[in-house]
Every structure is written in structure tokens, then in C-alpha cells.
Amino acid sequence: MTAANAAASSAERAATRVRLRPTMQSDLEFVLSLENDPENLPYITPWERTQHEAAIRFPDFRHFILEGGPGLDAEGFLILIGCKSRHQSLELKRMVVRSKGQGFGRAALRVAKKVAFDDLGAHRLWLDVKTHNVRARALYDSEGFVVEGVLRESVRTDNGFESLTVMSMLLPEFAARRERALEVRT
Ligand SMILES: CC(C)(COP(=O)(O)OP(=O)(O)OC[C@H]1O[C@@H](n2cnc3c(N)ncnc32)[C@H](O)[C@@H]1OP(=O)(O)O)[C@@H](O)C(=O)NCCC(=O)NCCS
């Protein structure tokens, strides 16, 4: 965490606003540089450029740039998959934020939930998170995701095998949170 990040108070973080826009080909340098940033690499498995290019094009995927801050600069990206699934089970495949600890992650996750449940007809939104990813796990816990289980030692990295926690939210749970004003309004 940088000094600038640390300076964001919890009130400032809570007030953070973001918007999502579809990722374009010209954004991919930014996306790849974030994925390959040593700060992020322990928590994700980076894709090849061609995988991102496919994700931009395939109707089953939604690839978004997260814009935030006063100038609505590109602050990160996120990917939803399973958008055409007959099971209405969408996966938040990836979310990476550049300026951490400023509230962009929470704000983006709320918009992603709104897109998934309101616009894409999700019944279930799920994700997996490495068990050692304390920051992301705290975010998902506090945003109402429920633990489904652990995929033990399912990812092989340079540090050995790592485990993934699977978490999800169902539409009624999302609706209940919205009733309590914990979600973005319709
Ligand atoms: C995980 C990530 C998306 C969260 O975004 P962010 O903008 O940094 O998070 P926010 O500022 O919105 O903080 C959200 C919550 O995360 C938790 N959090 C933030 N920093 C933390 C830290 N250093 N340690 C533990 N928890 C932390 C807090 O619960 C925080 O809520 P609070 O502000 O109410 O206290 C971002 O840190 C990131 O890109 N990390 C690297 C890639 C990654 O892990 N992606 C997710 C893979 S599943």
C-alpha cells in the first residue's frame, strides 16, 4: 500500500464512485500491465493477450474497464463469464484494481453485481479467491458472498500448490441486500 493509498479514510473509500465500460483492443496494454504487475501476480493467473482479445469479442464474456477518480481514469478491469449460460450462473473471473485501498474494488464489485443480476439475468454470481488473498477475501465477505468450499491445492504456482475458496451470491441474497440499501439501486 502506498502512502497515497493509506491516506484514503474509510469515509473517502465509502464515497468512491466508479463506472464500468466495455474494454477495447486499445485498453489491452493497460490490462496486461496490471495483470503482470508483481503486486498482483501472487493473486491471479495472467492471461495471454489472445485470451483477452477473445473475451472482448465472445458474447458469453463481458470484459470491462473500471474508471474512477475525479478524471474517470482507467483504474482497473474486471471480467464476467457465463453471461449466456442457461444456468444463469455467472463467474466473476477476474478483478484487478490499480490504486488499492481507495474503495475502487468495493465500488466496482457493487456495479459488477448490479450488471450481473439486473442486466445479465444472473441467478448465481460466483468467484474463487486464493486462500492467502486476505484483502480480496475480506472484500467478498463484507460484500455478502457466501463460502461454498475450498478447492484444495488446485493451482500450481512457483511457490507450490495453492488452494482456492469458492464463494457465491444468489439472486434472493442480492435482493435482500438491496432492500437493506447495501447494493446499488436499480
Ligand atoms: C482485491 C482488490 C480488487 C480490492 O480492491 P481495492 O480497491 O484494493 O479494495 P477497497 O479499497 O475497495 O477495499 C475493500 C475492502 O478490502 C479489504 N482490504 C483492503 N485492503 C486490505 C488489506 N491491506 N488487508 C486486508 N483487507 C483489506 C477491506 O475489507 C476493505 O474494506 P474497507 O475499506 O471497508 O475496510 C485489489 O486490492 C486488487 O486488485 N488486488 C490484486 C488482485 C486481486 O487480488 N484480485 C482479486 C482476485 S480474486
- In a domain, residue 56? The reply is yes
What is the enclosing helix (H) or strand (E) of 136? Answer: helix 134-142
Between CA 90 and CA 19 the distance in angstroms is 20
Q: What is the pLDDT of residue 5?
A: 44
Ligand 1 binding pocket includes 72 (Cβ within 6 Å): no
If you measure from the C-alpha of residue 135 to the centroid of ligand 1, how many angstroms do you get, rounded to a whole number?
A: 4
User: Does ligand 1 lie within 6 Å of residue 129's CB atom?
Assistant: yes
Predicted confidence at residue 169, as pLDDT, reads 98
- Confidence (pLDDT) at 16: 77
* Residue with CA closest to ligand 1 atom 1: 136
Q: Which pTM value belongs to this model?
A: 0.93
Does 97 sit in the ligand 1 pocket, CB within 6 Å? yes
pLDDT tens, per residue, the chain with 186 residues: 333 344 467 767 766 789 999 999 999 999 999 999 999 999 999 999 999 999 999 999 999 999 999 999 999 999 999 999 999 999 999 999 999 999 999 999 999 999 999 999 999 999 999 999 999 999 999 999 999 999 999 999 998 999 999 999 999 999 999 999 999 998
120 is a domain residue: yes
Please report the atom of ligand 1 found closest to the CA of residue 1. Answer: 23
Residue with CA at minimum distance from ligand 1 atom 23: 135
The count of structural domains within the chain is 1
In a domain, 185, yes or no: no
Instruction: Determine the Cα–Cα distance for residues 73 and 52; give it in Å rounded to an integer.
Output: 20
Contact 125, 113 (CB under 8 A): yes
Question: How many H helices and E strands in the chain?
Answer: 7, 7
Tell me whether residue 83 is in a domain.
yes
User: 113: closest CA among 164, 150, 168?
Assistant: 168
- The enclosing domain of 127 has a CATH number of 3.40.630.30
Residues 170, 145: Cα–Cα separation, whole Å:
9
Whose CA is closest to atom 6 on ligand 1? 105
Residue 32 lies in domain: 3-179
Find out whether the beta carbon of 102 lies less than 6 Å from any atom of ligand 1: yes
What DSSP designation does 47 have? P
pLDDT, position 15: 66
Cβ of residue 134 lying under 6 Å from some atom of ligand 1: yes
Residue 108 phi/psi, 5-degree rounding, is -65, -40
Q: Is 70 a domain residue?
A: yes
Domain membership of residue 186 (yes or no) is: no
Q: Does a structural domain hold residue 60?
A: yes
pLDDT at 10: 73
